[in-house]
A and B are shown apart, each in its own frame.
Chain A
Amino acid sequence: MSRLIKSCITLLSVICLTVSCTEPQLNNHQAVVIGLDSDVTTLNPLYVSREAEANISELIYLALVGYDWDSEKGEVISYPLLAKKIEWNGDSSSVLITIRDDIKWSDGDKVTTDDIVYSFDLYSDPKVQSRFYGIFNNYYLNQDLSIDLEKTFKIISPTRLEIKFKPNVPTSTFDFDMPILPKHLFKNIKREELATSDIGFKPIGSGPYILDKWDRNQSIQLVKNAKSVLVNGNTIDKIIFKVIPDYNSRINQLRKGEIDITENISPEDMRDLKSDNDIVMIARRGREYDYLGLKNVGSEKENQGSNQLFGNKNIRKALSFALNRESILKEYLLGNGELMTGPIAPIFKSSFNSDLISFKYDLQKAKELLQNAGWKDNDGDGVIEKDGKKFEFTLSIPSGNPLRNYSATIFQNNLKAVGIDVKLNTLEPAVFFEKMFNKELEAWIAGWMVPIPLDLKPYWYSDTQIAQANVYGYKNLRVDWLLDNLEKKLTKSEYANTLREFQQIIYDEQPALFLFWIDNIVGYNKRIKNMKINPLGAVQKCWTWELAQ
């Protein structure tokens, strides 16, 4: 029997050694492996919803324009992709687009202006239910919110197209930056069935990469599209997205060189990985932030005399002073972030109001503000009260987010120090977000990502039919006016001034307690050259990446 066991162990060792020698080493190949936390569900640009899906789909389907980040000016700049020339008329109410005549779909057909019009038709069609449905506000629309094709598009030739917009709306390349779809393939599928058709799994695009293999829940492999004008001899042959659900495994594989790039690395791991000579760590200054939301903030006028706990802006300011955000930034984020003053990130240099200074942790000031508002601890139980009502509330957080969990515990202690009793409640994300959007939570910690282009209306407009992310119930007529104004044509200085005033009001009223801008920490193998990591993301313009020899 012991002989049998010895034989088993020897056999196992031989297999291990043999295979460790035969295990392919990707470093020797012209391939880059990107770690993903979960598989993508579709590559059909009509339905991609997650960032990873959009990143992959944009490598396969080209848009008319692409974007870069100008870190000097702190703003997005566009560059032509499918388009060769973009000519705006005097008042920017129409644009003449000339597309490149050397771009083909990966099945060999030419990309024409007909494909462009057809793509916008699909994106705006209610039957298709694409992710862009209902957002073509600058276009001439039919009653069902689909684009009025006749009024909007004029095909001049297979390479020239004119797009006409509604008058007096602020138009830009953001109005037509969606990926372009091949009409000759999509038109064969019933519009109602596009969501379930297998065109999302067998994409034919015009981009620099084509789908080579999709191994469900394992990897997605893209290969260089040799016919694309964007690629050259130095372009990386293969971009592989490898699904690794476990965070620790992703980090270990980055260390071991089994993957080349991974995002959302914890600050603690960043510290360890920095010592690895093969890995470059970048804390991408971001547009993602965490905030502490409060229920029924309302408007100052509405709240006069009401007993809404968070209706008084001085109470909200007191809470802002009471939260020790600095300690979280220093101890948990290890400095990979920035304290907030409002919902516009400092990276948007031309829009950011730099005169505002973030609320510093000041318990004395918090106590004073609460006392002035009539909240005092009369019965000596450590909890302040007013008109017999104790200052206590439940702070909810979604499970599975260690930062929010840590912050909630710190804040609970901070608020206890000023006499506020906070109970913590952790909810499963699906339940948490349902309750948050239904305005059923008393207070909560969540986060947003500031969209590009900057769009503040969905978050801060009083009408919650328009602003579905105004979960705090914030109302301010001046803010509404400013946000409406941003949708008109403004000069650069008018635009900047409007945003400055908006930020000042939000700062003064604290409708939400702004916590910190959180850096997205990216780690990549130093063999990748020309990689640009900026607020637009890490996985972008992969066709410009090169591998060190």
Chain B
Amino acid sequence: MKNFWTIFRKRLFSTALILFLITSFIFLLLRLAPGDPTQRFLSPELSPLLLEKIKKSFLLDKPLLEQYLIFIKNIFSGEFGISYNYRIPVMSVIWNTLPFTLIFATISFSLQISISLLLVFFISQRRNSLLDRLLGKINLVFYSIPTMIVGMFLIFIFSLQLNLLPMSGLHSIDFDNASVWDKLINYSVHLILPLATLSLPGIIVFYGYLRNNIDEVYKRSFVLFLRSCGENEKIIFRKHVLPNSVEPLISVLGTELSILLSGTLITENIFGLPGMGRLIVDAILTRDYPLVVGCVFVSAILVIIANTVADVVKVNINKRLASEYFE
């Protein structure tokens, strides 16, 4: 924790600058891109006068520079304005989806790490076995299957054919009257298929990385030295090979966590889950400017936190890196 805050403090200025630049860039990009947020009020059945009134209330009738200054003022007062679609403060809209995204991403991330590690443990005892070679070959095949196909396939098998798991939603519709335990089970069951869909590519990637790294580390001379000293093969693997293999993976893990925290649109869409991915894409498609900027801001913070955490873990694993961060 001490390392986290030290690294975070060092990055505070650059973090604030990055956030400011990202939000300003998105603000300008949205205004310059084609599309009009009041388009949905332009309908033969609605009065053209209504459109003018709404444009005015969205401040879209003001010059771009004035809009930008108002936007900057709002940011510094911690507001992102009112969402055009939901007509409530942007942060309230985001707050409705953020807890789910955080929990979902964290569980999926933990699953990806733990299952890939378990697989590596399992295979490391059977190196060059048929299963090892098979996993090496199908690795790429699994990774290249689009998430959508994986999701549809899992739904087809487990929901439609076997009737074991629910197809969509975060929980059953009438679960309000259930006990806490039943609610927990209900949530868990609804998340099995989405988590499997989301985590499978990550597991494959992490497994592939780890497996290759382990091979590389085994080739190093210190392993030969340990073996010549008569060290137990299991201890060589657990105490020496694995820690050295995990280190290069940390940066990849940081990136994966950032992606998960920014939302997982396809999985959310297939399984009807209320996450940040769906929110941000809907906001972009309907040109809900304040909501897009708010989502980008929150996602950027999450990405920065994820990368900082990855750096802290790296420092803890490899103390030599500490000099880079703390000097």
Contacts and interface: CB of A to CB of B under 8 A. Distances in A.
B44 A469 contact: yes
22 contacts: A19-B164, A24-B172, A24-B173, A33-B173, A42-B86, A42-B87, A134-B48, A213-B176, A216-B274, A217-B96, A217-B97, A219-B169, A242-B169, A243-B272, A252-B155, A253-B168, A255-B160, A430-B36, A430-B285, A433-B39, A435-B34, A468-B48
Interface stretch (A125-133, A270-278, A301-309, A488-496): A125-133
A29 interface: yes
A401 interface: no
Nearest to A248: B152
Nearest to A451: B45
Nearest to A466: B48
Given A2-B122, A256-B159, A465-B48, A31 B188 contact: no
Contact of B53 (A47, A126, A430): A126
Find the residue from B163, B172, B272 having the highest chain A CB count within 10 A.
B272
A455 interface: yes
Nearest to A12: B192
**Nearest 7 pairs between A and B by C-beta?**
A134-B47, A217-B274, A430-B35, A458-B44, A469-B44, A19-B189, A134-B49
A244 B186 contact: no
A200 B97 contact: no
Contacts of B47: 133-135, 145
Interface in B262-313: 268-274, 278, 282, 285-287
A26 B122 contact: no
B39 A23 contact: no
B173 A196 contact: no
A129 B39 contact: no
Nearest to B284: A430
Interface of B: 34-36, 39-50, 53-54, 57, 82, 85-89, 96-97, 118, 121-122, 125, 152, 155, 158-160, 163-176, 182, 185-186, 188-189, 192, 268-274, 278, 282, 285-287
Given A131-B50, A252-B159, A437-B42, A195 B87 contact: yes
Contacts of A448: 44
Given A135-B47, A248-B152, A19 B168 contact: no
Taking each of B45, B96, B97, B186, which has the highest tally of chain A beta carbons within 10 Å of its own beta carbon?
B45
Contacts of B175: 24
Contacts of B49: 126, 133-134, 145
Interface in A17-59: 17-20, 22-24, 26, 29, 31, 33, 38, 41-42, 47, 49
A15 B34 CA distance: 49
A448 B118 CA distance: 57
A151 B54 CA distance: 28
Contacts of B86: 41-42
A192 to B, nearest CB: 8
A72 interface: no
B119 to A, nearest CB: 9
Given A2-B122, A23-B189, A431-B35, A217 B278 contact: yes
A242 B286 contact: no
A129 B57 contact: yes
A26 B85 contact: no
A15 B185 contact: yes
A1 B50 CA distance: 67
A245 B172 contact: no
